[in-house]
Amino acid sequence: MRFVLPASRRARHPLARALSVLLGLAVIGVLMVFGLVVAGVLLVGGLVLLAVRQWKLGSSRPAAAGSRASHHAQTIEGEFVVLRDSRNTAHSH
């Protein structure tokens, strides 16, 4: 099975060809500018979101973040017991 495109109807007049090339370049330029604007909006929005998140995180922390008291507040202590399994398993070697 062959896929055949229909014959293109290119204009023979040189002025029409030049105008079609300029129109194509203009469309490509508009699409590129639109893409850059969208990328800029996403970048600025992401930076604003990150700054707001960091600001909220910073305001909820205690004033003495480096002190020993805040270190103890983040530590979880507990006891553990080592259980010995008499069976030989592949991961115990």
pTM above 0.95, yes or no: no
Q: How far is CA 13 from CA 9, 26, 86, in A?
A: 12, 20, 92
Which tokens hold the place of 87? 């069976």
Question: Which SS3 state, helix, strand or coil, does residue 86 take?
Answer: coil
pLDDT at position 62 is 57
The secondary structure of residue 65, as a DSSP letter, is T
pLDDT string in tens for the chain (93-residue length): 787 877 777 778 889 999 999 999 999 999 999 999 999 999 999 999 999 999 998 877 655 545 555 555 677 788 888 887 777 666 655
Q: Where are the domains of the chain?
A: 33-62
Q: Which pLDDT score, from 0 to 100, does residue 43 have?
A: 98
CA distances from residue 30 to 1, 16, 20, 23, 59 in whole angstroms, order as listed = 38, 21, 15, 11, 43
